[in-house]
Amino acid sequence: MSIQSDVRNYAERFKSAKLRERPLSAHLKALEAESIHIMREVASEFSNPVMLYSIGKDSAVMLHLALKAFYPSRPPFPLQHVDTTFKFRDMITYRDALAEALGLELRVEVNQEAVDRGVNPWDSGSQLHTQLLKTEALRAAMNRHGYDAAFGGARRDEEKSRAKERIFSFRDTNHGWDPKNQRPELWRNYNTKIRKGESIRVFPLSNWTELDIWQYILEDDIPIVPLYYAAHRPVVERDGQIIMVDDERLPLKDGEKPDLRMVRFRTLGCYPLTGAIESSAQSLEEIVLEMLTARTSERSGRLIDHDEAGSMEKKKREGYF
Amino acid sequence: MDTQNSRTDVMDRLTQSGQHGVLRFLTCGSVDDGKSTLIGRLLFDSKLLFEDQINVLERDSRKHGTAGDEIDFALLLDGLEAEREQGITIDVAYRFFATEKRKFVVADTPGHEQYTRNMATGASTADVAVMMIDARKGVLVQTLRHTYIARMMGIRHIVLAVNKMDLVEHGRTRFHEIVADYMKNAEELGFETITPIPMSARYGDNVTRHSESMSWYKGPTLIEHLEDLDVTTDIESEPFRMPVQWVNRPNLNFRGYSGTIVSGKVKPGDAIVVSQSGLAANVERIVTADGDLEMAQAGDAVTLVLNHEIDISRGDVLAAAEERPEVSDQFAAEILWMAEDDLLPGRSYLLKIGTASTPATISALKHKVDINTYEKKPSRKLEMNGIGMCNVSTARPIAFDPYHTIRDMGAFILIDRFTNQTVGAGMISFGLRRASNIHHHAMDVTKADRAQLKAQKPAILWFTGLSGAGKSTVANIVERKLATAGHHTYSLDGDNVRHGLNRDLGFTDEDRVENIRRIGEVGKLFVEAGLLVTCSFISPFRSERRMVRELVEEGEFIEVFVDTPLEVCMERDPKGLYKKAKAGEIKNFTGFDSPYEEPEAPEIRVDTTSISAEEAADQVIAKLKELGRLG
């Protein structure tokens, strides 16, 4: 099945709510209810919320939860994608098809100035690339549209600094995060008060684990970008990471030739910065079974996290997701 | 391969692994007790650490670790850079792991007294508290403190983890000594279960495997206990409650009320009421994106459609018609204070309970609790991490149940109205009947009648500014000019209030707040009488000026900022007060050693350095005319 027909079938489901054949697992039901509660709080208490949509599996789940939270209404906020222009091509195809099928407003922010100056991961380095094309572009989008709340798909199990972040995470007028001055967050009683120019990042998936995400995608049959499934793809191996040659921009080193290998991705980002894993998992079931025996964390395929242990916290202070 | 079958198989396998649901627990104790080591050990032994994470951990252990060449599990949890460098845990971290039987969420919270608020945060969503005790040290003051907080936050199950047993030669007597000592203090607090386990987290003894060194211990390992502990509550059998979050109106044919059910059950046909208004209806449908439900219960996020339209908005609580929550604007609550600025009775905060928000004040601080000794002590304020029993008064009536009956119906946070910080957490104990017994008696002569007789619209003219700014001087001229023009006035200032009504108050922050509250109430009475009231008070805090503003109707509070720089005031020093302050004879002097918060949007600002007092008074009167207060 094509991406297009997949997402069209998906959109149909939200037009005629049919009772599930198999009830959701109890713990997923609790996680789902918590996320829906969080989303409704945001829709009620903020005047200009947005969903930061990054196309990956976590975003797919987050969007799915939003479709459920406000049913039969549409989610009362647009999607905002920050496009570095180095995303996998399949991600963009999926993104556009999904937004169209669901009739959702999709806003795309590109740091055109940096793109025109030729910023890219291999010449500029991953740090500058991320700073300019991702963090700066996100700040620009926040400022341009004046969002007062932004949903992000981060989970606490992903990374150490995220384990300590609030579900409603305050950002100052410069979009900075102050880890030492976070608001206490008790029960499900969220403080949504901010002044003009300040904003809140909201993480409705905070308490989900990677396995929960996959189990939910499986049980609720949520379409995801095909790159998560194993297929023969042209790749090169660099510094122990398998990098897909997704388009002609990736410069090949002398003597380097793309191989066709059976690979898939556990997370999706900029293709030159996202390592694939060798896998034969071509279905959701196989992916979940593979997950259950995995011995490396999903972010190990993310080259930008590896600088040093505190690197994510640094990025977040500067306004990264 | 039959994919359908395979999918069912995989789902079954996944469901199996979470058969006992999710258990949320909290670890209490200081770093020295081995708390982080314990959690690291649980993650490590449940094979939840991935190879790349272990690699990073080994690298970090060599750099910052305190365990020699061994892996320092504590580093795994102390996620923030500063904490890794200082070796302390300053915030709540949430960790996830799973066994064959159950999924776990661990809230790792810091142990020192200055982090009481962090522990309470972790405890607010936990089912179980694991109290870490260093077997060498036994029950400490902090153990009692943590136990009190756990009880206050409604945790029902305690695990007494007596750690570092390897350092007391795995001694059985020592263990029993500690348990007896703990029970003496904790037994009366009414926990459902208290389970003591001797362990050695560093080596994993009695954490995930039975200890050979402690063969005298026949009980479960920590993980066995946590896997099997029954933490189900009877929240589904409490009366139905659902705070309305969002009104769902996709089109004219559909009107639903979205929210999370916090207690009880609901079915189509059930009679419900809007707690605050008493309006009644029946549930027609329970709508979800997965189809209409025949029944929904506590924990479910749903959308209810009613059989006829009644007025419902966010903040209302839908409740079982036959068992309604209390509705009141006065209640008693235990409050944990979490901000650096003290809690001051009389000051206005924003209270958020469920989906409702309303201004609220602490009308009385009945006592403070010393959480180290459980003693009740009188106090006039609460400092950060202080806990007190308070009477709370809200601007609008709220619907609630006692915290220990229906947690979500009795839990509230207090938000500072200027910094927007979450400054307090409260747990409602019971409603105060006073509110329902003092009924407003409808008088035949109203405020409007009185004002009409005087051909003016009553108002409070609130002059604020530093001592010596010229507040009373300008206010005096304003009143003279108003009286000359035939208006009815009164003036309140420090001299006629401090010597009478407020002579019991001093100049501490809490007394300043109470001073202004009383003046505000008196000013309100004069406004009811139809007068134009001038009030000249330094009134240094924005919150108190705002509190007075909210006592009266829109437009009846006119803030006049007499904006004179401190240097000018000090030079004028009409009462010689700055001189005394400089000499240290007066303490808490505004602008000197006590802060003045300038108004952000006063109706009138007068600059006494560029115009005379007469001109300033003329400005005030011109503004009064513009605002239509002079008839």
Closest residue to A43, CB basis, from B52, B246, B300: B246
Rounded to two decimals, the pTM is 0.79
Among A220, A309, A222, A235, which residue's Cα sits nearest to residue A276? Answer: A235
Closest chain B residue to the Cα of A159, Cα to Cα: B79
A114 CA: distance to closest CA in chain B (Å): 31
CA–CA dist A98, A9 (Å, integer): 10
Give the pLDDT confidence of B215-251 residue by residue, as tens digits.
999 999 999 999 999 988 889 899 999 999 999 999 9
Taking all residues of chain B, what is their mean pLDDT, rounded to a whole number?
A: 86
Residues across chain B: 631
Tally of CA atoms within 13 A in the half-sphere of B453 that contains its CB:
10
Q: What is the pLDDT of residue B31?
A: 62
Closest chain A residue to the Cα of B337, Cα to Cα: A184
**Alpha helices (H) along B327-446:** 407-410, 434-437
Give the pLDDT confidence of B137-169 residue by residue, as tens digits.
999 888 888 898 999 999 999 999 999 999 998
Q: What is the pLDDT of residue B151?
A: 92
Parse chain A into domains and list their residue ranges.
3-13+22-214+312-317, 227-306
Chain A CB contacts of B384 below 8 Å: none
- What value does the mean pLDDT take over residues B432-451? 67
Residues across chain A: 321
Say which range, A70-79, B204-213, B586-595, has the weakest mean pLDDT: B586-595
CA–CA dist B133, B29 (Å, integer): 7
Could you give the angle at the alpha carbon of B406 between the alpha carbons of A68 and B267, nearest 5°? 50
Q: Is the pLDDT of residue B567 over 80?
A: yes
Candidates 3.30.70.270, 3.40.50.300, 1.10.10.1100, 3.40.50.150; CATH matching B14-228: 3.40.50.300
CB contact under 8 A, A30 and B82: no
Q: Is the pLDDT of residue A194 over 80?
A: yes
Contact A159, A293 (CB under 8 A): no
Q: What is the pLDDT of residue A229?
A: 95
- What value does the mean pLDDT take over residues B611-623? 92
Chain B CB contacts of A189 below 8 Å: 352-354, 411-413
Q: What is the pLDDT of residue B474?
A: 93
- What value does the mean pLDDT take over residues A251-265? 90
A87 CA: distance to closest CA in chain B (Å): 25
Closest chain B residue to the Cα of A209, Cα to Cα: B96
Q: Identify the residue with better confidence: A293 or B354.
A: B354
Among B98, B348, B72, which residue's Cα sits nearest to residue B202? Answer: B72
A293: pLDDT confidence band, cut at 50, 70 and 90?
confident
A3-13+22-214+312-317 CATH fold? Rossmann fold (3.40.50)
Contact B469, B564 (CB under 8 A): yes
- Mutate which: B6, B233, B246, vs A, most A CBs within 10 A: B246
Radius of gyration in angstroms for the set of CA atoms belonging to chain B, rounded to a whole number: 30
B204: pLDDT confidence band, cut at 50, 70 and 90?
confident
CB contact under 8 A, B422 and A191: yes
Q: Which helix (H) or strand (E) holds A41?
A: helix A26-45
What is the residue type of B585?
A: E
**Phi, psi (5° rounding) for residue B414?**
-110, 135
B86: pLDDT confidence band, cut at 50, 70 and 90?
very low
Name the CATH architecture for the domain at B447-626.
3-Layer(aba) Sandwich (3.40)
Q: What is the pLDDT of residue A316?
A: 59
Candidates 3.40.50.1820, 2.40.420.20, 3.60.20.10, 2.40.30.10; CATH matching B326-437: 2.40.30.10
Q: Could you give the residue numbers annotated as active site of B?
A: 539
Listed in sequence order, the residues at least 6 apart from B514 whose beta carbon sits closer than 8 Å to its beta carbon are: B345, B346, B502, B505
Q: What is the pLDDT of residue B437?
A: 42
- What value does the mean pLDDT take over residues B351-366? 93
Q: What is the pLDDT of residue B436?
A: 47
Same fold, B235-320 and B326-437: yes
CB contact under 8 A, A187 and B407: yes
Listed in sequence order, the residues at least 6 apart from A218 whose beta carbon sits closer than 8 Å to its beta carbon are: A284, A285, A288, B7, B10, B11, B14
What is the residue type of A244?
A: M
Q: Is the pLDDT of residue B316 over 70?
A: yes
Q: What is the pLDDT of residue A321?
A: 54
Q: Bridge-partner residues for B283, per DSSP?
A: B306
CB contact under 8 A, B79 and A184: no
Q: Is the pLDDT of residue A307 over 70?
A: no
- Mutate which: A39, A159, A189, vs B, most B CBs within 10 A: A189
Q: Where are the beta strands (DSSP E) in B321-421?
A: 326-337, 348-353, 356-370, 375-377, 387-400, 411-415
- Mutate which: A102, A160, A300, vs B, most B CBs within 10 A: A160
CB contact under 8 A, A71 and B352: no
Give the pLDDT confidence of A58-112 residue by residue, as tens digits.
999 999 999 999 999 999 999 999 999 999 999 999 999 999 999 999 999 999 9
Closest residue to A37, CB basis, from B80, B84, B260: B260
CA–CA dist B535, B476 (Å, integer): 10
Q: Identify the residue with better confidence: B514 or A303.
A: B514
- What value does the mean pLDDT take over residues B20-35? 81
Class of the CATH-defined domain B235-320: mainly beta
Give the pLDDT confidence of B35-73 residue by residue, as tens digits.
778 888 887 777 655 566 666 667 766 666 555 556 666
Q: Bridge-partner residues for B271, per DSSP?
A: B282
Give the pLDDT confidence of B524-552 residue by residue, as tens digits.
999 999 999 999 998 888 888 988 998 88
Chain B CB contacts of A161 below 8 Å: 79-80
- What value does the mean pLDDT take over residues B337-350? 90
CB contact under 8 A, A17 and B288: yes
Parse chain B into domains and list their residue ranges.
14-228, 235-320, 326-437, 447-626
Q: What is the pLDDT of residue A173?
A: 86
CA–CA dist A242, A260 (Å, integer): 11
CA–CA dist B362, B390 (Å, integer): 6
Closest chain A residue to the Cα of B2, Cα to Cα: A285
Q: What is the pLDDT of residue B402?
A: 95
What is the residue type of B34?
A: G
Tally of CA atoms within 13 A in the half-sphere of B607 that contains its CB:
2
CB contact under 8 A, B3 and A283: yes
Closest chain B residue to the Cα of A296, Cα to Cα: B50
A320: pLDDT confidence band, cut at 50, 70 and 90?
low
B543 SS3 class: helix
Taking all residues of chain A, what is their mean pLDDT, rounded to a whole number?
A: 87
CA–CA dist B318, B335 (Å, integer): 26
Q: Identify the residue with better confidence: A138 or A175.
A: A138
Radius of gyration in angstroms for the set of CA atoms belonging to chain A, rounded to a whole number: 19
CB contact under 8 A, A184 and B292: no
Listed in sequence order, the residues at least 6 apart from B577 whose beta carbon sits closer than 8 Å to its beta carbon are: B467, B468, B586, B589
